[in-house]
Amino acid sequence: MKKILLTLFATALVGVGCMAQTSKTSMNNKKILVVFFSHAGENYAVGNIKVGNTKVVADYISEITGADQFEIVTHKYDGMAYTPLTQLAQEEQNKDERPAFEALITNAKGTKLDKTSLADYDVVFIGGPVWWGTYPQVMFTFFDQYDLNGKTIYPFTTHEGSGLGRCVKDVKQAYPKADVQNGFSIYGHDVKEGKSKVEKWLKSINL
């Protein structure tokens, strides 16, 4: 009897193991990318931060889903205090500027990938801070340069009151043939304690 019970228990454990394996594999069957811009330094409500709020969320997404990352990197705002940065950002938006950026593409473990095309990704998360009601202009430079039409896109933001602002509308306008899903937003000052909110959102979207 004891032997039978042990065998049943072992079989059940193998079953649970397989289930965990299956759900991970089905998530990983889709190639997922997180495209984001994030500004480290002096910021509203959080002081001087070493890692930008949006990057914290991008890292949660990669940790949970295994997604690669495409970081939109610019040094244009390095070392700027918050108030002059808001002025510069407003000017850029008024002039509809397209600041230059460098691409930093890494896997979920942070290892640099040598890639030029995003063709092999099925699902793309697009995230950034809200600057004057929408994404920073440098993200529009990315939109101009990379065609994500045909992909499933999940916009997200970190913000201090605007929520998603005009971001979802602007992503839809940039990629009219993409399947742009509902967005997710989180207060910048909440991201450090916000992993469970990100996890809940990711569970709800059935990747």
Ligand X SMILES: Cc1cc2nc3c(=O)[nH]c(=O)nc-3n(C[C@H](O)[C@H](O)[C@H](O)COP(=O)(O)O)c2cc1C
User: Per-residue string for binding with ligand X, 55-94, x by CB under 6 A?
Assistant: ---------------------------x--xx--x-----
Contact between 132 and ligand X by CB under 6 A: the answer reads: yes
CA 141 vs. chain centroid, Å, equals: 17
Contact between 146 and ligand X by CB under 6 A: the answer reads: no
Contact between 151 and ligand X by CB under 6 A: the answer reads: no
Q: Report in angstroms how near the CB of residue 105 gets to ligand X at its nearest.
A: 18
Q: Report in angstroms how near the CB of residue 101 gets to ligand X at its nearest.
A: 14
Report the residue from 44, 76, 98, 199 that binds ligand X according to the rule CB under 6 A: 44
Task: Return the number of the residue (118 or 139) whose C-beta is nearest ligand X.
Answer: 139
Contact between 52 and ligand X by CB under 6 A: the answer reads: yes
Q: Report in angstroms how near the CB of residue 20 gets to ligand X at its nearest.
A: 32
Q: What is the chain's length?
A: 207
User: Per-residue string for binding with ligand X, 175-194, x by CB under 6 A?
Assistant: -------------x------
Contact between 141 and ligand X by CB under 6 A: the answer reads: no
Q: Report in angstroms how near the CB of residue 79 gets to ligand X at its nearest.
A: 13
Q: Report in angstroms how near the CB of residue 73 gets to ligand X at its nearest.
A: 12
How many chain residues interact with ligand X (CB under 6 A)?
22
3-state SS record for the chain = CHHHHHHHHHHHHHHHHHHHHHHHHHHHHCCEEEEECCCCEEECCCEEECCCHHHHHHHHHHHHHCCEEEEEECCCCCCCCHHHHHHHHHHHHHCCCCCCCEEEEECCCCCECCCCCCCCCCEEEEEEECECCECCHHHHHHHHHCCCCCCEEEEEEEECCCCCCCHHHHHHHHCCCCEECCCEEEEHHHHHHCHHHHHHHHHHCCC
Q: How large is the C-alpha radius of gyration of the chain?
A: 20
Tokens read off for 32: 């997922």
Task: Return the number of the residue (150 or 161) whose C-beta is nearest ligand X.
Answer: 161
Q: 195-204 and 53-65 are packed helices; what angle lies between their axes, rounded to 10 degrees?
A: 50
Query: Contact residues for ligand X (CB under 6 A)?
Result: 38-39, 43-44, 52-54, 82, 85-86, 89, 129-133, 158-162, 188
